[in-house]
Structure 1
Amino acid sequence: MYKHTMVGVVTVCAAALLAPAVGTSSAATASAAPAAHQQRADPVLVDCLWHPEVRPADFVLACGDGNSRLTSLHWTNWSADSATATGFNVVNDCKPYCAAGKFHSYPVVVRLDTPQPWKKHPQLRHYSEISLTYTAGRPDEFAHVVTYPLWN
């Protein structure tokens, strides 16, 4: 009889311990679903450190050396298809070489396009293309509009 009582006690204790975990798991899944759905609807911009950003004020374009970055970004649109901002592209002229070069600031209109699933987090979409339109001056040898692929 002692053996059956002990098995019963262990079974009841195990069930009691598992019930909150199962309930918590279900609740967590239910509450996370809307957030995950929202994240999929609005793409992110992936920075140099592989962090997802939404409407960042600054963004480094040249991750290796930091010689080109976007600053003072003011976002006028951030949607499922594209995003648009105004700001400045701060670029090192690298004359006579990059370590001795000077940074120059050029006003730009920034456009993010072509959302795709992010390889690191496939549940998130990220913008995979960025275009800069220079509105007053631009770096030597740059076109009026330049388009770059963004990292995945």
Structure 2
Amino acid sequence: MQLRALTTTVAVFAAATLATAAGTSPAARPAPAPVTQTVQSRTAPPVVVDCLWHPHVRPTNFMLACGDGNSRLASLHWTRWDAASARAEGVNWVNDCKPYCAAGHFHAYRVAVRLDRARPWKKHPQVSHYSRITLTYPAARPEQFGPTVSYPLWD
């Protein structure tokens, strides 16, 4: 027990000596800066949540088909990202799944992307996330798609 008290006394003395040498007492030192949080508040712009449940703002690429990877967005260039919506242009790479998905081929389609319907994210309720994505194909599009398609985004 005496050894523990002696060790504690030496440690406190050493800390006080170092603090005095630095010009401040331990009590006068400011508290350490808080760790920067990766979660943002609702006043910050919404995020889009990826397949691995990570939040992103203005991602360059985004997987639409998390289960099989047969549709993804690439080369996204964002022109808007705020509380109301986000807009980008890019390329939608879609597998034609012919004769079946594993043997299919990917085709690139120019696409306009809109994210909207910001809601609190279930995983982090203090973070707002876009809950719907709308894709608009200005020219060619996958044969099973209409000129505009909307999907709910995962929460």
Q: TM-score range by the shorter chain?
A: 0.7 to 0.9
Q: Does 1:28 align with 2:28?
A: no
What is the match of residue 145 of structure 2? Answer: 142
The one-letter code matched in structure 1 to 2:34 is A
SS of match in other structure, 2:94: strand
One-letter identity of the residue aligned with 2:99? P
Q: Which runs of 4+ in 1 moved over 3 A?
A: none
SS at 1:48 equivalent: coil
What TM-score, normalized to structure 2? 0.76
Contact persistence 1:81–1:114 (CA under 8 A): yes
TM-superposed deviation, 1:41: 2.5
Match of 2:49 in 1: 46
Which runs of 5 or more structure 2 residues have no equivalent in the other structure? Answer: 6-11, 13-25
Once residues 120 and 102 of structure 1 are traced to their aligned partners in structure 2, the CA distance between those partners, rounded to angstroms, is 35
What CA distance in whole angstroms lies between the structure 2 residues aligned with 1:127 and 1:63? Answer: 17
Match of 2:97 in 1: 94
| Aligned: 1:132 with 2:135 | yes
Q: Distance in 2 between matches of 1:60 and 1:136?
A: 21
Structure number with the higher helix fraction is 1
Which residue of structure 1 lines up, in the alignment, with residue 23 of structure 2?
Answer: none
Question: What is the aligned partner in structure 2 of residue 64 from structure 1?
Answer: 67
Report the alpha carbon displacement of residue 28 of structure 1 after superposing the two structures with TM. Answer: 3.2
TM-score (norm 1): 0.78
Name the amino acid aligned to 1:52: P
Q: For residues 25-70 of structure 1, what are the alpha-carbon distances to aligned partners after superposition, in whole Å with 9 as ceiling and x for unaligned?
A: 8x639x87xx844x64200000000000000000000000100000
Q: Structure 1 residues 36, 107: closer, same or farther in 2, change over 3 A?
A: closer
Distance (whole Å) between structure 2 residues aligned to residue 106 and residue 36 of structure 1: 33
Q: Which amino acid aligns with 1:60?
A: M
Amino acid at match of 1:66: G
Q: Unpaired runs of 5+ in structure 1?
A: 1-5, 7-12, 14-18
Q: What is the RMSD computed on CA atoms of the aligned residues?
A: 2.7
